[in-house]
Structure 1
Amino acid sequence: MTAVLSTQTGLHPRPFLKWAGGKGRLLGQYEPFLPTAIDTYYEPFLGGGAVFFHLAGRMQRAVLGDINPELVNVYCYVRDQVESLLLHLWEHQRRHSVDYYYQVRQQHNLRSPLERAARLIYLNKTCYNGLYRENSQGHFNVPIGKYKSPNICDPLLLRAASAALQKAEIRTFSFETLLSRSLSSRDFVYFDPPYHPISPTSSFTSYSRYGFSRDDQQALAHVFSTLAARGQRVMLSNSDCEFIRDLYQGFNLQPILAARAINSRAGQRGKIGELLVTFP
């Protein structure tokens, strides 16, 4: 395995956001299915970026994105202006309290993209369970978490992430646009969409106002199949259920055992089956 080490921090890069469905704890199960060398890495559902950071030392460049512009904005500032971002996070850490949290949460119309990036990281580090969720107006609406001393500003973590992101193009785009890209056989595409619900009570399939419907899952399966038919290396994770298995029949289906990290009931945060779809 090839790893990347930040010369600025001495740390291997890892996610700086806690994200629903984050893959940090699953990388050991994913490793047998990951390439050892990549020209360009594509990830259109970026989230916490665990797979990107894990593979950063194996790729020449990356194209990272998400349909959520606020998440894309955060990654751009971590890449391009991490020291300025750290100054804002230090201020958030100094002023943190229950009242301050809800004051910041109400700041829906900040004009400065740097302030918006710092706000998202601050809320992510202090909200309930690290959950990112938006209402239909696109406003963050998660209550404060019960943390005694949240680590809001982590210079070593953010500088290591910034170093890894120097090789990445980061922008807002949807997964369908990959069909118009000229990918080579040495590129690698990883899809980590909002998971299809496996029961009526597991309906959290999106973290933003945009949602991800059954039709979206079918459109994604079409993109995956089209890229695979072109001989390109693709991998996808999703919930292990009949609907997803039917969508990807004919591909390599690998069951994955994952911990359910985000659930409103602590007693239901156990192990859950997920599915890894690979080609070739």
Structure 2
Amino acid sequence: MTAAFPATPTLPPRPFLKWAGGKGRLLSQYEPFFPSAIDTYYEPFLGGGAVFFHLAGRVRRAVLGDINPELVNVYCCVRDQVETLIRHLWDHQRRHTPDYYYQVRQRQELRSPVERAARLIYLNKTCYNGLYRENSQGHFNVPVGKYKNPAICDPSLLRAAAAALQTAEIQTFPFEQLLERALAPDDFVYFDPPYHPLSSTSSFTSYSRYGFTGADQARLAAVFRTLAARGQRAMLSNSDCAYVRELYQGFALHPILAARAINSRAGRRGKINELLITTP
């Protein structure tokens, strides 16, 4: 690994991406349910990584994953090539305009991993509402946001994230793969899947070409039940709806008050209940 960061980062690690459904504002409600010490931490729906960064100081090692290979590439580059990544992001920040944004968004040709990572971070920091959305071909298709001076490159934040990620194994893997691993009693698993829609008009599952159906939710619940039967410590977030409550009947269901951050109408960005589900 070639990252060059201070031995003691000036900032505690925290998310360096904007992410729909990010858990940064919910951590105080989650904290009573986190273990005080964790040997290996597993998170197969990484997203913005708020829970991982919050727990990094009490985790010996981590296994992090996501179904989106471009997101996995970003985390690998932050861990392994943070200084090179910072240089690319400074270049994007220097050149940023709405026209430049669309030029970068259009680029689909093969690039080096660090160039691809810088592109995703740049688009994430400058697109509308920080929303990650793909079309059916897997191409990012969010319009530019109306920001005067977007913070595209934050070296201290990226270096702190790189330091936290040094003990992490990062890969693209399906959540079922957790059943094949020899998890230990002191390990901890956190699932943050795309939320089940609260109504037929909700779009919680449509931010990427992969989607996440009701059948996927049922498969995930089966994995959660299997882990619980093995005595594994695990926790899962999802929407508070009848289907999710039925899937996790028999587990502890903790209502969490959360803000709805993604809505085209500001007046509809109110508080809603989500569920935090824990094993015994």
TM-score exceeds 0.5: yes
Q: 1:91-170 maps to which residues of 2 (within 5 A)? A: 91-170=91-170
190-199 or 110-119, which deviates more? 110-119
266-275 or 245-254, which deviates more? 266-275
Query: Which amino acid in 2 is paired with 1:34?
Result: F
Q: Contact conserved, 1:89 with 1:152, CA < 8 A, in 2?
A: yes
Q: Distance in 2 between matches of 1:95 and 1:263?
A: 29
Equivalent residue, structure 1, for 2:69: 69
Q: Distance in 2 between matches of 1:206 and 1:258?
A: 20
Instruction: Give how far 1:272 is off.
Output: 1.2
Instruction: Give how far 1:102 is off.
Output: 0.2
Instruction: Give how far 1:196 is off.
Output: 0.2
Q: Distance in 2 between matches of 1:42 and 1:207?
A: 23
Q: Which runs of 4+ in 1 moved over 2 A?
A: 6-9
Instruction: Give how far 1:206 is off.
Output: 3.8
Q: Distance in 2 between matches of 1:204 and 1:241?
A: 13
Query: Which amino acid in 2 is paired with 1:26?
Result: L
CA offsets 1:68-116 (integer angstroms, 9 cap, x no match)? 0000000000000000000000000000001000000001223211110
Q: Distance in 2 between matches of 1:169 and 1:193?
A: 19
Equivalent residue, structure 2, for 1:53: 53
228-237 or 101-110, which deviates more? 101-110
Q: SS at 1:275's partner residue?
A: strand
Instruction: Give how far 1:203 is off.
Output: 2.2
Q: Distance in 1 between matches of 2:243 and 2:23?
A: 22
Instruction: Give how far 1:33 is off.
Output: 0.3
Query: Which amino acid in 2 is paired with 1:19?
Result: W
Q: SS at 2:47's partner residue?
A: coil
Instruction: Give how far 1:195 is off.
Output: 0.2
Q: Contact conserved, 1:8 with 1:159, CA < 8 A, in 2?
A: no
Q: SS at 2:210's partner residue?
A: coil
Query: Which amino acid in 2 is paired with 1:20?
Result: A
Please provide the CA RMSD for this pair: 0.9
Q: Distance in 1 between matches of 2:236 and 2:206?
A: 16
Equivalent residue, structure 1, for 2:270: 270
Q: SS at 2:256's partner residue?
A: strand
Instruction: Give how far 1:141 is off.
Output: 0.2
CA offsets 1:159-209 (integer angstroms, 9 cap, x no match)? 000000001000000101001000011000000000000012212314211
Q: Distance in 2 between matches of 1:264 and 1:186?
A: 42
Query: Which amino acid in 1 is paired with 2:243?
Result: F
Tell me if 1:199 matches 2:199: yes
Equivalent residue, structure 1, for 2:3: none
Q: Distance in 2 between matches of 1:74 and 1:103?
A: 20
How many residue pairs were aligned?
275
Equivalent residue, structure 2, for 1:27: 27
Instruction: Give how far 1:7 is off.
Output: 3.8
Q: Distance in 1 between matches of 2:142 and 2:192?
A: 23
Unaligned runs of 5+ in 1: 1-5
Equivalent residue, structure 2, for 1:227: 227
CA offsets 1:227-275 (integer angstroms, 9 cap, x no match)? 0000000000000000000000000000000011111111111111100
Seq. identity, %? 80
Query: Which amino acid in 2 is paired with 1:189?
Result: V
Q: Distance in 2 between matches of 1:207 and 1:227?
A: 28
Equivalent residue, structure 2, for 1:3: none
Query: Which amino acid in 2 is paired with 1:79?
Result: R
Q: SS at 1:77's partner residue?
A: helix
Query: Which amino acid in 1 is paired with 2:102?
Result: Y
Q: Distance in 1 between matches of 2:136 and 2:10?
A: 42
Q: Contact conserved, 1:257 with 1:274, CA < 8 A, in 2?
A: yes
